Amino acid sequence: MIKFETILKDTLLVAKMTGWRKVGTWDEVKPYSDDEDCRECDLCAQQPEHLKEFYDAYFAYERKNGWISVQDFYEKHYSESATSKPIKPLNREQCWRMVNRVDNLEKLAIAELWLRKANVTNEEFDDLMMALSHISRELHHEGR
- Please tell me the predicted confidence (pLDDT) of residue 21: 92
SS (H, E, C) 67-123: CCCHHHHHHHHHCHHHHCCCCCCCCHHHHHHHHHHCCCHHHHHHHHHHHHCCCCCHH
Question: Residue 38: left (phi > 0), alpha (psi -120 to 50), or beta?
Answer: beta
pTM for this structure?
0.54
Largest distance between two CA atoms of the chain: 62
- Please tell me the predicted confidence (pLDDT) of residue 113: 83
Contact in structure between 114 and 90 (CB atoms under 8 Å): yes
| Sequence ranges of the domains in the chain | 4-80, 86-142
pLDDT of the chain, 144 residues: tens digit per residue? 789 999 999 999 999 998 899 999 999 999 988 888 888 989 998 899 999 989 988 988 888 888 888 988 888 888 876 655 565 788 999 999 999 999 988 888 888 888 888 899 999 999 999 999 999 999 888 875
Q: What is the DSSP letter of 34?
A: T
Give the span between the Cα atoms of 73 and 62, in whole angstroms: 9
